[in-house]
Homo-oligomer: A and B are copies of this chain.
Amino acid sequence: MSNSSNEELEVIAISNVPHVKIHGRTTTVRSPLTLFWTGSAAELNVQGAEFWVEIESSYDLLEPWISIVINGVPVSRQMLTRGRAWICVFRGMNPNAVKNVRIIKDVQAMSGDLSNSLQFHAVKADGTFLPVEEKPLKIEFIGDSITSGEGAIGAKTEEDWVPMWFSALHNYTFMTAEALDAEYRVISQSGWGVLSSWDNNPNGNIPAYYEQVCGLLKGEQNEQLGALEPHDFSSWQPDVIVVNLGSNDDGAFQSPAWTDPITGQVYKQRLNGDGTYHEADLAKFENAVERFLIKLRKNNPQAHIIWAYGMLGSSLLPAIYRAVDAYHGQTRDHAVSILQLPNTTEETMGARSHPGDQSHRRSADVLTEYIRRIL
């Protein structure tokens, strides 16, 4: 489609575009700019009639998708097939009016595809770029498939695990941030938990990678992109951290053991004969929650931390309360609290047995209200 771009427009490397606001953790490299996490975005205020962006998409299996939001309204959503392409964001508009444009990564970081990447190379426009206003509030969301918006778009009958059914916008993270006029970031991975992933794999835990830019990505390409670099926490300090983890830690109790292919070690969160959680294993989970809180606090000294849980059941909530109690006992840190989110019902279910748009909306309402009271 490169033949379709307006040849008279000036191409500017993304590194040279003034006033680009980047949402989501990334490296300092801007040639090109890589977006890793869902909800990550490049935001610009463009004064001009026409605006294009050059994006490069890479993957073996799982392709990136983007959504485009103009003046607060989502107007486009598309799959990015492999390669480098110019995408026209708008054209034929009043050259004097300023358009706020956000180009948002609509799928999570794909730990299951070593070749997956999404990069911004350049823009073309016939106008100028103005500063993007700073938001008064910053929120970081940390979670699993729920927070990745898995199943938040698509028919209830959909069962394929494909990027198309992920959404950053039909998502309580986006909804909450919009309602609170907040800037936000997301750290999330489908299937992962605090202690392990749903299948008892101990490597599928978010805390282990929390201090890297996007450390759960594997492979040489991601390493070169800087995904494994330490994250510079001083560059962005959230006012609120929302942790929505636990659903897959519960799954581990319900799932078969996982054997480490290298060490041969077997991992399994056990249930008792009566279906209740095995106490020693539950303690491991609680310990993991407590350690994660310590790590969060170390890196975010001022943030109010909310463990918000319950969109797909809340069976680990008592354990989370115990973990937060233990954390309180140890630290006297009272800026950590727990919020039970509304469970997803038959009516609010989306695709792939995950929360649908309505469930995300309900949780966003509860969370928004809760954050408003805290602040």
Provide the residues of chain B in CB contact with A86, threshold 8 Å.
Answer: 81
**A322 contacts the other chain (Cβ, under 8 Å)?**
yes
Nearest opposing residue in chain B for A345, CB measure: B369
**A76 contacts the other chain (Cβ, under 8 Å)?**
yes
Contact B92 A61, beta carbon cutoff 8 Å: yes
Instruction: Give per-residue flags for A47-76: 1 if the beta carbon is below 8 A from chain B beta carbons, else 0.
Output: 000000000010001110000001111011
Contact B153 A1, beta carbon cutoff 8 Å: no
Nearest opposing residue in chain B for A320, CB measure: B321
A339-B340 in contact given A4-B82, A91-B162, A162-B90 (Cβ < 8 Å): yes
Contact A63 B78, beta carbon cutoff 8 Å: no
Question: Interface residues of A toward B: which range?
Answer: 35 or more
Contact B155 A71, beta carbon cutoff 8 Å: yes
Q: How many copies does the complex hold?
A: 4
Provide the residues of chain B in CB contact with A91, threshold 8 Å.
Answer: 63, 79, 162
**A263 contacts the other chain (Cβ, under 8 Å)?**
no
Provide the residues of chain B in CB contact with A339, threshold 8 Å.
Answer: 340
* One of B81, B160, B340, B345 near A340 (C-beta < 8 A): B340
Identify the A interface with B (CB < 8 A).
1, 3-5, 57, 61-63, 70-73, 75-79, 81-83, 85-86, 88, 90-94, 97, 153-155, 157-160, 162, 164, 274, 276, 310, 317-318, 321-322, 324-325, 328, 334, 338-340, 342-343, 345, 366, 369-370, 373
Q: Which 3 A-B pairs have the closest CB atoms?
A: A321-B321, A340-B340, A4-B81
Q: List 13 A-B contacts (CB under 8 A).
A: A70-B155, A70-B164, A71-B157, A76-B78, A78-B78, A79-B88, A81-B88, A90-B162, A90-B164, A317-B321, A322-B325, A342-B366, A345-B369
